[in-house]
Structure 1
Amino acid sequence: MKNYILFDHDGVLVDTEFWYFKAGERALAEIGLILDEEQYVRDMNQGIGTWAQARAAGIDEATIDRQRGIRDRYYQDYLRTESIEIDGVVETLAELSKHVRMAIVTTAKRTDFDLIHEKRQITQFMDFVLTREDYNHSKPHPEPYLTGLSLFGATASETLVVEDSARGLNSAVAAGIDCAIVHNEFTATHDFSAATHRIQTLRELKDIISL
């Protein structure tokens, strides 16, 4: 039986990861660099998906810093204009809230997170939200999920993490928490062999938390 769920955000509750890639691709194209999607997905696990390729191509740090700001603006434009809904999320959270307490633990910046949720109903079901500014070490370090446990006053054994990336899975495993991986086409090639559960949609969580 699980009493708490810690959700990743991007790719789990909203479909944003592709648009983050597209924003980086667009920013690097401006300086003549083609961002390789397969390499980007591999680099995601280290949190260096966009800029590793830029550095490998000899792009200097000042240019990277400038294009990072441009990438962030492009990404926010996509968040305002593209469809990022995942079918059934709100309905599933409403049902789960009858049985467990829930929170979000994300590597998203607070500015982006707040923009995404200006007109959405997801956060009403959450006890708290941790964004990138709320901890010192990002995933795959265990700190984000250990911080979530601490805020809940929960043990690892009564908690479930829901993720869509190997980086997030590794963070959960390092924190000693069972992890359910929900299918996301963008991260489907990641190594999820350490996952406790593999699911296609969040609707399957109701059965998992009662095990």
Structure 2
Amino acid sequence: MRKYILFDHDGVLVDTEFWYYEAGRRALADLGLTLDKDQYLRGMSQGSDTWAQARAAGIDERTISRQRQIRDDFYQEYLRTEAIEIEGVAEALAELSKYVRMAIVTTAKRADFELIHEERQIKHFMDFVVVREDCQLTKPHPEPYLIGLKRFGATKEEALVVEDSSRGLKSAVAAGIDCAVVHNDFTKSHDFAQAAYRIETLAELKDIILRAG
């Protein structure tokens, strides 16, 4: 039986992927640029950021930095006002906590993560959280998940990663950890051929964990 689960955050535990895109779309629109959803998803799968298009258009870094802050403000506004719950997550984590230790490994910024979890009951199931500021390199690089393994003192074989994007899947595979990809409407077009498991909801993880025994 696997002893540890390393969860991605956005799109896995909370439904935030669309709102991060929408915040970036609005910030780029201020510059007269259009952020197409398919274009964004392609960049996301390759680990490129929202601002590649702006740089290609010759927009200077000072302006990009200003718009990045505007994007972050838009995103936090959405986090405060939009429904981002994923049905059944808390119940699935409560059940899984009987069998495994769990942590979150995310590229979310600490400020966004803390805002999301001010009044939610997800964090208390976790041993620790790895956020963007804890890593020198972000997904699809393996560093975030290798940090997670190190904090648990776990081997790759003892752990399972849960992701919803090809960027996160690539990070897990590069770290040598099996990955279960959970369905997310926003990222469903990504390539998940390297996933060890495909699931519709987190409730299915219990069977995977017990089967691994």
Same fold (TM over 0.5): yes
- Deviation of 1:59 (Å): 2.0
- Whether the aligned pair in 2 keeps the contact of 1:41 and 1:187 (CA below 8 Å) is yes
Over residues 6-61 of structure 1, what are the superposed CA-to-partner deviations in whole Å (9 max), with x where a residue is unaligned?
00000000000100000011111112111111010000123334111222223222
Q: Distance in 2 between matches of 1:49 and 1:186?
A: 17
Return the alpha-carbon distance in structure 1 between the equivalents of residues 33 and 10 of structure 2.
25
Aligned-pair CA distance for 1:158? 1.1
| Mean CA deviation greater in 28-37 or 89-98 | 28-37
> Given that residues 41 and 49 in structure 1 are in contact (C-alpha distance below 8 angstroms), is that contact kept between their aligned partners in structure 2?
no
Give, in angstroms, the shift of residue 81 of structure 1: 0.2
Give the equivalent residue in structure 2 for 1:35: 35
User: Shift of the alpha carbon at 1:63?
Assistant: 1.3
Per the alignment, residue 55 of structure 2 pairs with 55
**Percentage of matched positions with identical amino acids:** 73
Deviation of 1:203 (Å):
0.6
Name the amino acid aligned to 1:65.
S
* Deviation of 1:204 (Å): 0.4
Give the match's secondary structure for 2:103. strand
Conserved 8 A contact 1:15-1:84: yes
RMSD across aligned positions (CA): 0.9
Match of 1:181 in 2: 181
Could you say which residue in structure 2 is the equivalent of 1:15?
15
The count of aligned residue pairs is: 211
| Structure 2: runs of 5 or more not aligned | none
Secondary structure, counterpart of 2:11 in structure 1:
coil
Q: Deviations over 1:95-121 (max 9, x none)?
A: 000000000000000000000000000
Q: Give the distance between the partners of 1:22 and 1:109, measured in 2 at CA.
A: 17
Q: Does 1:24 align with 2:24?
A: yes
TM-score of the pair, normalised by structure 2: 0.97
**Counterpart of 2:147 in 1: which secondary structure?**
helix
Residue of structure 2 equivalent to 1:69: 69
Q: Give the deviation of 1:133 after TM superposition.
A: 0.5
Q: Does 1:165 align with 2:165?
A: yes
**In 2, Cα distance between equivalents of 1:24 and 1:36:** 11
Counterpart amino acid of residue 82 in structure 2:
E
Amino acid at match of 2:201: T
Q: Residue type of the partner of 1:60?
A: D
Contact 1:42–1:49 (CA under 8 A) maintained in structure 2: no
Between the aligned partners of 2:192 and 2:170, the Cα distance in structure 1 is 9
Q: Unpaired segments of 5 or more residues in structure 1?
A: none
Partner of 1:117: 117
